[in-house]
Amino acid sequence: MDMRLAPLSIITLLTISASSTTSTFATANDTQTATDNTPKTATPQIANSYINDKILPPAIEWHGKSEELLLGADAEWATPFEQHGLKTSPSYDETFIWLDKLIAQSDKLKKVSIGKSPQGRDIWMIIASQEGAATPETLAKNDKPSVLVQAGIHSGEIDGKDAGMMLLRDIIIGDKGELLNKTNLLFVPIFSVDGHERSTQYNRVNQRGPLDMGWRTTANNLNLNRDYAKADSLEMQHMLRTINTWQPDLYIDVHVTDGIDYQYDVTFGYNLPQGLSPASYNWLEKIYRPAIEADLTSQGHIPGPLVFAIDNTDITKGMSLWNASPRYSNGYGDARHLPTILVENHSLKPFKQRVLGTYVMLESTLKTVGQQATKLKAAIRKDKFSYSPMVTLSWKEKQQDKGWDFKGIDYHLEKSEISGNEVVRWTGEPKLYPDLPVIGNTVADVRVKRASAYYIPAQWTEVIARLENHGIRLTRTEQETEMALEQYQFTQPEFATKDYEGRQRVDAQVTKHSIKTTLPAGTVKIDTKQPLGDLAILLLEPQSPDSLFQWGLFNPIFTRTEYIENYAVEPLARQMLEESPALQAEFELALADPLFATNPKARLRWFYERSPYYDDQYMKYPVLRQK
């Protein structure tokens, strides 16, 4: 996770440790079972379970009712997490050896590979259904909603894997089999499989376990939770194809957060009502959230909305409400009308607590989706076929009407002798921060009128392939067609000064012009009146922050490849002026600008750009719009 927060620096963590050297060092009893639903209060302490505990803020020992879900280490069906003191997470091979053993016990579980990683590992998905469906077609026949749970998109943030293994065990071997009566589960234990195997105890310094943690990015150093829109990575292409093929009704993306200290252990959220899926938002906010939070609370956890502090050193400045763009899982789900939940467990809570909280959330999700499937499917359908006449491409921030009574942790600032800066020192003591301001990007900024269709020349093969991978329906013209369309013209392109996620991003000033043109046979047409029409708009409108244009897939249009020598421009300019009094008047007006008048190159270029020799496609967007 690093959506809106930067993790505390190592310098900060070291100074936190320095301020805590008088605390009592103690090892929490990670196997004690609580007898009631209320977490036990305890004195904040420095733990010593993990190599980085001594440089992290004080922890509060936690025990909740959900500990009753745990099996003893010697139990036949204990997961590797339970077998090794609730502090470790198994390797790729260990994970699937254990899961294969479980799958062999029941015809309700099937395992399929959604594709191979760049290093050749299978990305496995477990299908859990009452009927033992092994294909998308057979799963669809049971007419139940499907929940896709994805763990390890950032492979060090692996809580969902161990929680999912426990839950599958209890569905097949234990007393949770009724969860499949009304719902199917699609479970990807490890999404970033190559990053998962780049595992050491020195990854994710700000996180309390597991002992060994995977790497944040893929083997190609791409962050999968920045890749939904552009879909550069092989892993993401596999996942998008999986979503299109298996058609889940709810998508859960499990992370572990960075940033500040607070009381919540399981936070989760989704895109806002201002987005492209307002009906799904209402289902999530009014039906899903109350049910999940009630179940988490009853099991001794403290659930909450996603936590993004405006200033990590001053909580009183408030919290940020996040309307994610389609590069992120929840923003992508909003664009394609797939209700998507971003789970952010709190990194400073022990691994055991986070895994158990995730288990409770996943169990509650299956139960709630089964009970409320009709309303969920109706909300999805309403969003898919709304076809809003205006589409918002970007958002501006404003303070929200309602504040947040924030369950935080007390802290103070202290001058660091190491950095020379003021640093935060969390005390571990719970503190309520009443009515904190909430700032959210909820005001529409750039909006466009919905195009009825887009046309893409056949030579833009990479762009077309990405759209197909997203599942967007397209057709090809069978013959030359003359049409009146709209085209964007770019000026003042600004290229990013450094690489971002393997791409050189670009932005530019945009103007729109009406043109008449003849489309060649084979031109790709994308009708926006389709379930993924809104996603197509966000990918193809150049002012959309996650458009394929801004991600650099159209950068060749900014390259000039034909030129004219000065000795040829001079006589050409004289000829043009002689033939056009209007051009003469326009040139004289241009000379009124002293910067232009004193720039010989600019004056010659002025004529070249107005001549028939100039490249008429230079800095013009090849994707055409139909009103």
Q: Which residues are catalytic?
A: 344
Longest dimension (CA), the chain: 96
Q: Distance between CA 358 and CA 5 in Å, rounded? A: 22
Q: Distance between CA 627 and CA 131 in Å, rounded? A: 47
Contact (CB, 8 A) for 380 and 338 = yes
Single-letter code of the amino acid located at 4 = R
Phi, psi for 322 (deg, rounded to 5): -110, 120
Residue whose token pair is 């076809």: 387
Neighbours of 494 (CB within 10 A): 10
Tokens of 179: 């969860």
Phi, psi for 105 (deg, rounded to 5): -85, -10
Look at residues 539, 123, 542, 547 and name the one whose alpha carbon lies nearest to residue 336.
539
Contact (CB, 8 A) for 196 and 293 = no
- CA 137 and chain centroid, separation: 28
Contact (CB, 8 A) for 142 and 133 = yes
Look at residues 627, 599, 608, 534 and name the one whose alpha carbon lies nearest to residue 569.
608
* Half-sphere CA count of 501, side-chain side, radius 13 A: 19
Spatial strand order of the sheet with 184-188 comes to 109-116, 122-128, 184-188, 146-151, 250-256, 340-345, 266-269, 303-304
Neighbours of 437 (CB within 10 A): 15
Tokens of 369: 């989706």
